[in-house]
Chains A and B, each alone.
Chain A
Amino acid sequence: MEPLSWTGATGAFLNPFILISATCLVFAYIIQFVMSFFAAPMTLQSNADGSLMKRGGISSGIENVANVAFLAVIAAAVLYLVAGVLAPYGQAGIIGVMAKRLLPVWIALIVTFSLSIYFKRKLGLYGKLFDSTVGMIGFGLVMFWVFTALFAGGFDMLVTHDPLGQVSGLKNKAPGVPMPDGSTGDWPHYLLGGDNLARDIFSRVIKGSVIVIAIAPLATLFAFMVGITLGLPAGYFGGKLDTVLSFLANLILAFPVILLFYLLVTPEIVATGIPSFMAAFLFVFPMVFFGVLLNSRYYTQPSKRNPMLIVVLGVLGWLYLSLISQDGTVLNFLPDAIDGFDINPGILVVFVSVVFVNSPTVFRIVRGLALDLHTRDYVAAAQTRGEGSWYIMLWEILPNARGPLIVDFCLRIGYTTILLGTLGFFGLGLPPESPDWGSTINEGRKLLLIVAHPALPPAIALLSLVLGLNLLADGLREESLKD
């Protein structure tokens, strides 16, 4: 087999085209940026006859150029992908093969976007997201990785080679390198080259997304449960409770995150069982949250409350017990018959420490919001009606604080992704052969000055996911402020 080039046959026409349009775009943006300080801005002037006239022709002209160039770049990118999907294997180069391999993701993205845009007026805040370009770009980036993780993790699609399999002779080989003669498998190339241990970088990046997408949102959710359950009473009641909880939160926040990780996420600490106890403590909070949430609302209707509480607490309790009872750790009390699942202790300690680091910040945000909202009229009205404190906190204050919390949730998933990468970067927690992006970057950076290509794909993947989450949060904030 021949080694693949980046763009293959499609590049002959598309490469110069995208180069020219990208150059135009960059120059148009620079000129626009500089002009904005000197040239008169484009304004609309109303004439006596009732018509409108555009003034400031230069700015508007450059704006048109920029818009056309932007569309051209987008069109070229789409053409690369379409050509890759339609052309036979290898004709459209590495990009083409990757586009073909990721076809399920493209289909899922197109379906999601067309359905969401069609029904956007009926979907509340989520639908409004599709009014903002920034929000749509962010949502697209995030959903790309979500679908990738779903197809790769759930259905074992997308990957081309075993992410842990080594093929001799492909160590540190450049992208598009063919497999050696006589090797089995459907995919005759390493699309993004081989890493230091001769593993396929493309498959590792795809598999790595599964770990990140599985851990980051869930850990953020747990941190929110902890932060909300402790932050609401701290802000609502104030006093001694607030002082003590705030001091503890500041204590954790004063710790440099990396020092904390180095102290918590080591095999020695895992052996002492401290992460298991922390898990046992932190994972109680979702149960407390949902229990109090339902009880405070329905305690006057026991016939409704009792079955609800039994079902919810039963399921959560079973999940909780199965989660903290692990074979081979200090806490192992459930018999195997009812122990639902076991989590790799390396992943558990990573999960616990990420929740631990995130919850004080969430606590501070929720406490601030509760402090602000507990003086509002609807809270006073609820107090006059004689509602309980927890009802007021969870059913009056919390829904009214949802805007900032949703935005912060998106941002915080991004931050958690960064933290997970940091752990991988220092080789903490996850096993060294794990394909998650942080560990892969760590592997790649050791030889960075000699071969650069193994470290770049995971770095760019991580960047695009976090960027997507930030843009999504920005779009959500913009749209929620419009009300």
Chain B
Amino acid sequence: MGLFILKRLGVMILTALCLTFVVFWLTNLDPNLEKLAKTQGNSRMSDEAVVTYLENRGYSQALPIKYGEWIGLLPGYVITGSDGEVRARCATRGSSVEDAPKFCGVLQGEWGFSTRFKEDVSQIISIRLGHTAKLMGFVMLVMVPGALIIGVLAGMNEGSRTDRTLSTFSIITTATPEYVSGVVLIALFGTATFGMQWFKGNANSALDDATFQNFFLPVITIALYGMGYIARMTRASMTEVMTAQYIRTARLKGVAFRTIVMKHALRNALIAPFTVIMLQFPWLLNGVVIVESLFSYKGFGWTLVEAASTNDIELLLGVSVVSVVVVLVTQLISDIGYVFLNPRIRIA
């Protein structure tokens, strides 16, 4: 087991390195750097001005060197610019060039500086991630119990009217992406068009003070899309368990249907959905980006969109590291949890 986790951690680090390098490469392509220079400096810069701007700020070094500096394996650049000013990578936050440490990369705990928000990346990400964690927490509270109840109710009597109604409901929710359900829900309940203006169509105020009125629509929008999928998996798992031998034995012995479902079936039926719920996290991340843009809730997803559209390299790298780690850690947890839940499986 320990070896398995170690192996997985190794793969995880390798994956994160590969992915950050890809992000690094794509954001450091010439046209992207030119865009960055023009948004940071002056939108009507001449081509020569762009080149000197980039050279003075260390953007024109070779790609592996820049990546090494960001990781913290290579010393940060110290460049005497063509304008006479000395700039050092590690001295961007007010300290003078002489006092600056030699290395400042991820390994030293320095995540860099956001060119869009003019703040430390680590600070931005921790604050925004907190906002998103609040949203995700409520989504999980609504989605997981709802999906499990729907799935179990549908699966315990396969083919019944309840099953057909609930299955249709879950198909409809999986077919409705967040940007469709969000738009429809806002139009229905956020505007006066249909006379049902019960909620707010803008969740900006929920950042500090989340109330039922301003937080319900974003939460339900994300929850609905994920709910159908988990419910269908739970239903499949439940129907499989309900046809097992021991359930038939229990029925023939005359155990009440309610007791069979609650005591015998449920425990075994909930193993498979656990994995599905864990693997839903990466999907939720997508939903979060859409919903946060739609409801202008300034969390992690909104930061991603802002960073990507202004080519804010270090913030974008931070964001991608966080999202990749979320994806891989949930995969690891789902594998390990599966072993604990299902004693028939052993990991060497």
Contact of A13 with B by CB under 8 A: no
Q: Mark A242-274, 1 if CB is under 8 A from B, else 0.
A: 000001001101111111001110111101101
Are B184 and A269 interface neighbours, CB within 8 A? no
Q: A268-B29, A474-B171 are in contact. Are A33 and B165 (CB under 8 A)?
A: yes
Query: Main secondary structure on chain B at its contact with chain A?
Result: helix
CB distance from A144 to the nearest CB of B (A): 15
| 8 Å CB contact of A256 from B182, B187, B193, B286 | B286
A327, CB-defined interface residue at 8 Å: no
Verify A258–B19 contact, CB threshold 8 A.
Answer: no
B15: interface (CB < 8 Å): yes
Contact of B183 with A by CB under 8 A: yes
Residues of A within 8 Å of B304, CB to CB, are 256, 258-259, 262
- The A-contacting residues of B in range 242-274, CB under 8 angstroms, are none
Chain A residues with CB under 8 A of B160: 36, 41
Cβ–Cβ contact B305 & A471, under 8 A: no
Known: A263-B308, A448-B201. Is A467-B175 also a contact (CB below 8 A)? Answer: yes
Stretch of B47-55, B71-79, B101-109, B318-326 lying at the A interface = B318-326
Q: Evaluate whether A452 and B193 lie within 8 angstroms (CB atoms) in the complex, with A258-B289, A259-B323, A444-B183 already known.
A: yes
Closest to B177 in A: A418
| Contact, CB under 8 Å: A258 / B286 | yes
Q: A41-B160, A422-B177, A449-B202 are in contact. Are A272 and B30 (CB under 8 A)?
A: yes
For A434, the chain B residues whose CB sits under 8 A away are none
A199 CB, min distance to chain B CBs, angstroms: 18
- Residue A63 is within 8 A (CB to CB) of chain B in the complex: yes
Instruction: Identify which of A313-321, A390-398, A453-461 touches chain B.
Output: A453-461
User: Which partner residue on chain B sits nearest A411 by CB separation?
Assistant: B174
Contact pick for B177, options A33, A455, A466, CB 8 Å: A466
Considering the chains assembled together, what is the distance between the CA atoms of A263 and B31 in angstroms?
Answer: 12
Q: With A254-B324, A258-B304, A272-B31 given, is the CB distance from A462 to B309 under 8 Å?
A: no
Q: Which of B18, B26, B177, B186 has the most CB of A within 10 A?
A: B177
Pairwise interchain contact B172-A421, C-beta atoms closer than 8 A = no
Residues of A within 8 A of B301 (CB): 258
Shortest Cβ-Cβ A-B pairs, 9 listed: A262-B308, A268-B31, A452-B187, A467-B175, A466-B175, A452-B193, A418-B177, A459-B180, A263-B26
Interface residues in chain A, defined as those with a beta carbon under 8 Å from any beta carbon in chain B: 29, 32-33, 36, 41, 63, 134, 247, 250-251, 253-259, 262-264, 266-269, 271-272, 274, 414, 418, 421-422, 425-426, 438, 441, 444-445, 448-450, 452-453, 455-456, 459-460, 462-463, 466-467, 469-471, 474
Task: Write the residues of chain B forming the contact surface with A, with a CB cutoff of 8 angstroms.
Answer: 11, 15, 18-19, 23, 26-27, 29-32, 34-35, 157, 160-162, 165, 168, 171-172, 174-177, 179-180, 182-184, 186-187, 190-191, 193, 201-202, 282, 285-286, 289-290, 293-294, 301, 304-305, 308-309, 311, 316, 319-320, 323-324, 327-328
26 CB-based A-B contacts, threshold 8 Å: A251-B19, A253-B327, A255-B324, A256-B304, A256-B327, A258-B290, A259-B319, A259-B323, A262-B305, A263-B23, A264-B26, A269-B29, A271-B31, A272-B30, A272-B31, A421-B180, A444-B183, A449-B191, A449-B202, A452-B191, A453-B193, A456-B183, A466-B175, A467-B175, A469-B175, A471-B171
